[in-house]
Amino acid sequence: MAPAKLLLAIAWLDQAELSACRTFNRTVRRAGLLRVFRIASRLGDGVLWYSLMALLALVGGAQGRMTALQCAVAGVTGLALYRGLKNVLVRERPYMTHAAIVCAGRPLDRFSFPSGHTLHAVSFTVIICSALPLAALVLVPVALLIALSRMVLGLHYPTDVVAGGLLGAGIAFATLSLVGS
């Protein structure tokens, strides 16, 4: 692809992503929905996942302890990876760059790429559901709400969330194949 065409394609993608951000972010105008997405985002802060890990370790027998260990390994790996990427790629959050985007939640750090909330939600969901398939009935919708909340609250671009999800899935599958296999 010629450099001029590549630049045009990048500019088009950037505008499409900004448009998607604005569309998601308009949800904050509805108080009821805003409350739902703020709660979903808070669930992604870690308390839900740490509680599930503790519960699995305490009452899940040997399989529960192994699943909790796998979640812990994936969690530490994900934390190191997403923090490293954020500090290298230094992508500003949408609300910091675009005045039309309202910040409706508290960011845990300055940069947006990739979404750590989404990375961990997907990672833990994949690992827990590999051991307890019926948990998918609850965890998949929760993970999707967490991912969506990050865009609705003006904290992430869609590509941040997609990248976080892909990285989380990759970490989960790697952890499952390396830890306890």
Mean pLDDT in residue range 159-177: 97
Task: For the chain, give the DSSP string.
Answer: --HHHHHHHHHHHHHHHHHHHHHHHGGGGSHHHHHHHHHHHHHTTTHHHHHHHHHHHHHSHHHHHHHHHHHHHHHHHHHHHHHHHHHHH-PBPHHHH-TTS---S--SSSB-SS-HHHHHHHHHHHHHHHH-GGGHHHHHHHHHHHHHHHHHTTS--HHHHHHHHHHHHHHHHHHHHHS--
Pair 38, 105: CB distance under 8 Å: yes
- Residue 99: pLDDT band (50, 70, 90) is confident
pLDDT for 172 equals 98
Domain positions in the chain are: 44-178
Query: What global pTM score does this model have?
Result: 0.90
> What per-residue string of b and e applies to 137-157 under the rule 16 or more CB within 10 Å gives b?
eebeebbbbbbbbbbbbbbbb
Query: Distance (Å, rounded) from C-alpha 181 to C-alpha 150?
Result: 33
What CATH class does 44-178 carry? mainly alpha
pLDDT for 30 equals 85
